[in-house]
Amino acid sequence: MKIEKEKYTPQLHFKPAFGWLNDPNGLMFANDQWHLFYQYYPMDNIWGPMHWGHAVSDNLVDWTHCPIALAPDESGNMFSGSGIIDKENVSGLFEQPSDNNLVVFYTASLPRGEDTEDLQSQCLAYSTDGGIHWTKYANNPVIANPGLDCYRDPKVIWIEESKHWFLLITHGQSIGFYKSTNLTSWEFAFEFGEKEGLHTKGPWECPDMFPLTAADGTRKWVLVVGIGDGCAAPGSGTQYFVGEFDGEKFVNDNAPETILYLDNGRDYYATQSWFNAPDNKRIGISWMSNWRYARDTETKTYRSIMSLPKEYSLVKNIAGQYIVAQKFAEQINDAFAPASAINKNHFACIEIVKPVYKLSGELSLVEGEQVDITLFNEQRAQISITAKGGALAVSSYRNYFGSNEVMQQEFPHDYQFKQPCTTEQVAFELLIDNGTVELLLADGQFSMTQLYFPENLTGSLSLSGQGWSRVTLATLSDEIK
């Protein structure tokens, strides 16, 4: 039976072949392939007993679906985790050192009744055939639950300074750090976050941590955590901390009350980065949805997609603060044909004949000046950018045209973020893929990732205001199907 392509099926964003998808898991680059695992329920398009789906790619654009990597067992459902390569065979799970010694860490979440939280413990599995088949460790769990209701999402990283592996786990409203030399025996090291950053009713989830080096040679560690609800962009979001890590303890550079968002959109959650990415690049990807409406979005054969992969860098903002900037992974940019300049006389009505395209260029905004971007033939601008008081005020508006009651209540929005900026010249990139919209401003210091479900995916695009300095339009290369 042929399955008809759904209206909002993306071409560049990863999606499951069918069923439900959420958090990216186990990301690693091995044997010249990008491995993407993800929270997966193959039996329905809403969240259910979690499996680990698996796909591989040579270029972060074209993905091949692999067999399910992990399925529920007597220890519970297969919740989120991470992946590494045990090149030196410190675990003793393999015959010899090899670049093909793949290991994933996951949370086994055992249901214990309606009124009792799942029993969550940390486990590992390994593969000797490039990730096609996985063997669960005979002595799981490698870390038993110490008595916490929320104890999940293990992220394993290598710390060269201390010659230890570290494993980060959510402890609820904080992150626990554990260390090991052999990947199978772990000891608690320290905890971070109880009085730092944003705290809401839900737990911190899906931690990640990695080093970045700025152009001036400064090296910092970035700790990323997901916030399930209560973020400034309504609902789920991703915050991060920049600080020092000496192999024993993470120290936040900023005041405890400082809140840094990795993205200012509503559909950027559970961020994870790839282990062993080429050229020491830090490439990350996020679940492109929001728990307020994730179970009700407008697709039927599958539900949820991933954001586009982005490369992270460390930059200093105008306040002298080190922050994370983003740009689309070069493989994404390579998927587009050469861009063409748009004549300003045509800005009021740019005809869009393909639902996947990218706008790039530069704004020239003086104090009080505003530009508007109206997509999908709609009557009101979805994005407005105003120069105001040494900052860019970025407004995001979204409507909903369907009949789902949850979506009617939760999906529309009208909110604003401010991005510090003192220069009149502002670079921008805007990538649209069958309704998904990802915006980067000010050399990636501002990121906004949003889902849209418009009535018209093609038609007219309009750019209004006097602050447009240069705009180019690119569509997908003919090689991308």
Provide the annotated active-site residues.
Answer: 23
Q: Would you say the C-alpha torsion 29, 435, 409, 296 has a positive or negative sign?
A: negative
| CA–CA separation, 310 and 449 (whole Å) | 12
| CA–CA separation, 438 and 447 (whole Å) | 7
CA 413 vs CA 124, 238, 385: distances in Å: 41, 18, 16
CA 295 vs CA 45, 257, 392, 463: distances in Å: 8, 32, 33, 33
| CA–CA separation, 158 and 446 (whole Å) | 29
Contact 331, 283 (CB under 8 A): no
| CA–CA separation, 204 and 222 (whole Å) | 15
Q: Quickly list DSSP for 182-221.
A: SSS--EEEEEE-TTSS---SSPEEEEEEEEEE-TTS-EEE
Helix (H), strand (E) counts: the chain:
2, 34
Contact 428, 438 (CB under 8 A): no
- Maximum C-alpha span of the chain: 68
| CA–CA separation, 434 and 452 (whole Å) | 9
Q: How far apart are the first and last CA of the chain?
A: 21
Our CA angle for 363, 368, 373, nearest 5°, is 45
Please state the φ and ψ torsions of residue 331, each to the nearest 5 degrees. Answer: -65, -30
CA 180 vs CA 121, 275, 279: distances in Å: 17, 17, 26
Contact 440, 326 (CB under 8 A): yes
The residue count for the chain: 481
Give the strands of the sheet with 350-352, arranged side by side.
Answer: 350-352, 459-464, 370-374, 383-387, 391-398, 413-420
Please count the other Cβ atoms lying within 10 Å of the Cβ belonging to residue 173.
Answer: 16
Please state the φ and ψ torsions of residue 296, each to the nearest 5 degrees. Answer: -125, 10
Contact 89, 76 (CB under 8 A): no
Q: Is 154 helix (H, G, I), strand (E, B) or coil?
A: strand
Contact 175, 258 (CB under 8 A): no
